[in-house]
Structure 1
Amino acid sequence: MAYFTAVLTPDGPGEGRTWQTIDVDLEAGSPDELGDALRGAVDDDSPVLAVLEREDEWFALVRTDGSLDVRVFVSDAVAAADSAYAPLFAELPTASENPGSPRDDDGDEGDDTDDEDDEGQDAARPEPVVAEDVWAGDPELVADLGCPAAVLLRLSGSGADPSAATVEVAELLGFADVLESLR
């Protein structure tokens, strides 16, 4: 399976900004190592965004803004753990460790322990099957640029094609044409 990578930076703030590609070798490494490479690619404190995809498995976004820490989001941390980029995702907080992650209807984070009240439920009614959240990192990393966390979470949980997911993100941020030209 193939990887697709692109590194972009906006040429200005706001809705009318355009994005330019940057030639950066995205070697596997720690977030700090990749952040240094991204920061070194621009002369100012502009945001730099790396888009990574593993065909049919996952997508990831890596962002740095000047001297700020690098931020990472990966749609499927389990699948990405077996990739060449595994060191980048190794220490990211998972969905269950992340404050504000989706919760089940009773307000807890999916604790499967049986409560005494559960024993009297109708045994004929099947329990709904809910896919476990497998994303990791910072779902807010591009919210200020126009892609809310809810969109990243939906795209990571939907089982969507990673390239379709990154195109949707790119459309919201305004670089879909640039991204498609790199494919």
Structure 2
Amino acid sequence: MYFAALLARTEDGWEASDTELDDVETLSDLTDLAREAGADDDTVIVFIEQEDAWFGILRIEGEEDPRIYVSDGAAAARSSYGEILTRELLGDDGDDDADELDALDLDGTEDGEPAHHEDDDEEETGAAADAVPAAPVGDRLILADLGLSEADLLALDSDVLAEIADALGAAEVLETVR
């Protein structure tokens, strides 16, 4: 089960709305949904959480390209909405070459080598899911200018969306849609 919410930062503060992702099939669909929630150049944050498996953040500001962060790339890549986010982070070519992952530095290690997890009992879920590390991927500074540092973002582990909203000063408005 997914929970998704939109937070739009307006002149009057944060406005929250829950959202259905039923019609979202691509990153463009998700980006359009976010842009519709804001006005002009408002900052809009989309939170997506799949139970306690992973969470993702999409940040839109005006017509700029979206910024994306996913808490666990491998878990997200195995879910429909998470795959939308991780596919964007990896590129659309679906190439699971480890050297390409090194170039993207998705796993956050100092030497840039991808995290390798082998589990022979696990069902194969496709090349994209296998190529994504079971670690945070994307823009770790996505919320730094709004009050949530990279270290704080990486340390989140329970009731994540509430903690993020609290750091942004939007906890009360998020609770109204939860």
- Provide the TM-score with structure 1 as the length reference: 0.70
Q: Is the 8 A contact 1:29 1:88 kept in 2?
A: no
Deviation at 1:66, TM superposition (A): 0.3
Judge which range, 25-34 or 134-143, deviates more.
25-34
Alignment-derived partner of residue 155 in structure 2? 154
Query: What is the percentage of aligned positions where both structures have the same residue?
Result: 36
Deviation at 1:62, TM superposition (A): 0.8
Q: Which residue of 2 aligns with 1:101?
A: 108
Corresponding residue number in structure 2 for 1:53? 49
Question: For 2:44, what is the secondary structure of its paired residue?
Answer: strand
Is 1:39 the counterpart of 2:35 in the alignment?
yes
Q: Distance in 2 between matches of 1:41 and 1:180?
A: 17
Look up the match of 2:121: none
Q: CA deviation at 1:154?
A: 2.2
Larger C-alpha radius of gyration, 1 or 2? Answer: 1
- Name 2:71's counterpart in structure 1: 75
Amino acid across the alignment from 1:101: G
C-alpha contact 2:17 2:174 (8 A) present in aligned 1:
no
Give the Å deviation of 1:61.
Answer: 0.8
The residue that corresponds to 1:88 in the other structure is 85
Normalization by structure 2: what TM-score? 0.71
Higher share in helix: 2
Letter in 1 for 2:105: N
Q: Counterpart of 2:37 in 1: which secondary structure?
A: coil
Q: What is the one-letter code of the residue matched to 2:163?
A: E
2:48, 2:55 within 8 Å by CA — same for their partners in 1? yes
Mapped contact 2:73–2:137 kept (Cα < 8 A): yes
Cα contact 1:32–1:70 (8 A) shared by 2: no
Unaligned runs of 5+ in 1: 113-131
2:6 matched residue in structure 1: 7
Number of positions where the alignment pairs a residue of Structure 1 with one of Structure 2: 149
Deviation at 1:111, TM superposition (A): 8.2
Name the amino acid aligned to 2:65: D
Query: Any idea what SS the aligned residue of 1:56 has?
Result: coil
Query: Are residues 134 and 178 of structure 1, via their aligned partners in 2, closer, same or farther at CA, if it must alter by over 3 Å?
Result: same
Distance 2:13 2:76 in 1: 30
Q: Within 2, Cα distance between the matches of 1:177 and 1:71?
A: 24
